[in-house]
Structure 1
Amino acid sequence: MTFNPLRERGIPLDQQVRNWSELDVMPIDPDHADPYTRCRVITMNGIETEAIFFSHHMARHCPDLETKQQLARVRYIEAQQQKAVNWLLPGVASVLETTIAYEQVAVDLTAWVARMEPDSYLKQAYQFGVLEDFDHLYRYANLFEMIEHRKAETIVDRLTEVMPGRPTYLQHRDPMDNVREPYNRAAAAPLSKLHALTIMSAEQQTMNFYMNTGPMYMEPIARQLYQEIGLVEEEHVTHYESLMDPGETWWERLLLHEYNECYLYHSFMETESDRRVKAIWELHLNMELEHLRLAAELFKKHDDRDPEQVVGDRLPAPVTFEPNKEYIREILSTQIDYTTLGTGYVQEAHERFQRMQEKILGGERSPSEVVIDDNRHKSGEEYRLEIEGPHPMPSLRVHR
């Protein structure tokens, strides 16, 4: 059955404001909830946060008072949605526990997008990034064991493996080499546009989270690790945002944001295992249908085009959180030694890469390496969660 959100009617905007009791949602149970329910919550918080940021930026560039007022009305509802979604996360979960869940999102959402992406250049961008987030999960899992004396498998529930990816210290590149070529707005598949917006939003959320939570720890190694990985997440946001065509108009971008929210809420409503959370996805979908209608009207008025020219006439197959162990192992076996050069990828470490390594590391071991050594010393061995088979791990050829 096809679903075209452009032809559906949602809840009228003036009926969408919720009171405190309606916004005060009961959080999920951290010990019994499906880990992928938590992943869906984290994903939608990132999507809603990006929608709010984008609306603010658009308003700052918009001279028309009436349009700015409409953006403000919709944005307030988006802010309520963001609060309801993010407040589903349990307060009893530590920052580090939530961090591991963030990285599980980064691994399994990016891997799924890479598998489904029809454009080979964009697919390569997601495959490149997922190996780095995979390594972040491994580093934080060792910090989690060392500081909180708990295993990351209590969070990821063996759905996602925890083992080395592309080593984090090798992820510090010259900033210019983090910029990719954008898709062509006139030729790219609608799904490609939604993928780019989704992963950029998720990575942006992670970058912001680490920037704000990193200093909350007293342990020096924790503060250092958040600082290092937080810098890599900035690289990732640059990497993914550059995939989007800068020629898209503000109205086109607004349309894509609202359509993507409909797509993801519909996807998660279709795949959610928790009935109570599923009801929230359904409610928010019905709100977003009205937001999309309003955005489509602005798009038709200012760009004088049919919205279906940009987003298509039906939703793609639902975004699905599911294990990607075999897929990630396949990429690990062939791409772990990649780095970037200009807008492309190479396997040999080049001069700019080496220069950046020397600047950022200064001959010292990075926090992402120290945390593994410290956990081996404290716990007797490093923490890994390998579900099956040996782990292939060739090394990047760096001459030091």
Structure 2
Amino acid sequence: MTPRLTRRHALVASVAGLALAPTAAHAAPSAPIAPAAVRVGGGGHGHGSRSVRIATYNASLNRGAAGQLISDLSTPDNAQARQVAEIIQRNAPDIVLINEFDVDEEHRAADLFRRHYLEVPQRGQKPVIYPYAFTAPVNTGVPSGMDLNQDGTIGGGDDAYGFGLFPGQYGMLVLSRHPIDTDRVRTFQNLLWSSMPDNLIPTDYYTPEQVPRLRLSSKSHWDVPVTFGRTTLHVLAHHPTPPSFDGPEDRNGRRNHDEIRLWADYLRPGRRARYIVDDAGVRGGLGGRESFVVLGDHNSDPRDGDSWPGAIQQLLEHPRIQDPRPASRGAVEAARAQGGANAEHRTRSRYDTSDFTDDPGPGNLRVDYVLPSTDLRVTDTGVFWPCEGEDGADLVGASDHRLVYVDVRLR
């Protein structure tokens, strides 16, 4: 399937098979686009300046059956979707990656979420309009035809290329106020795990026939170029698998590490990135002079949880990446009130972005990141996690993750 314009003047690119067809997008009749983003916190952002707010939010808009999210969003009264939309409206990012948003071939869920929720005032908040959007197929729920959990049968979520009950479950959606250069989008859904040199595949768990067929990305990895006049910002979006729900072989912890490593290698153009081939067959990483931001639910805390040692440090300590460390007072309050595993954590609770089970654990963790390239100047950061009784505190239960944002000034 080639990139196409939805009926709502918003560009949604889709990938089918191995390649994103390099077809130029054609303008469709467009409705008026919203003015500059609402200012939130310090440091202005929006169309009126070179400062841009970029956010990631695992919104938990996933459902247990194909088509259920479309049904839930077909009217404007789904309680969870209204909460998610209000959180986005309150923070008004110029670009936002939504993790765990079920993907459908016709992009109906994406259109419905914008029309019925984001473009409708939620409890007095200003609507947000995203004329541009990108989504594409993911590996979750795609049958592999192999017995990947070694239980003697083939089929079900554990035997998909990425865990999921149907293709598109736990998908991703990028929304933007600014144009997406679809001709330059790169996706890495089909990249083989075995193609990564010195990978962590547990070869004593997977059979010799399975190893060369395993895909690296549990969902997908996307390089989505967003344009601001003559300036381009590469949005590097992904959602690595949780390093849990496995056995002593730690197959998910190993995969999580290598999914994170893919972006680390992608940002080292040259020999380090030679193995990286996108779904269109183009080899190599991102040029050294390009501006970018890595964002998503990485399912990896720097010091706590079940991650493979050093997993997220591959990005946090990367020479081309800066870590602005967004924080919130609400996370500190929650960790103190909930106790359990939180009391033993080494990462400071102010940086937590998720509210997970506390007893027996893993407790609240920092797993959601917005990591800009070092050439961008950070002007503001935040995690939307109000303290109990503060305005908006009743919204955070929409997901077990919190929206994280970083404002950057473009070159």
TM-score, normalised on structure 1?
Answer: 0.26
More helix by share: 1
More strand by share: 2
Larger Rg belongs to: 1
TM-score, normalised on structure 2?
Answer: 0.25
Greater RCO, 1 or 2 (C-alpha within 8 Å, sep 6+):
1
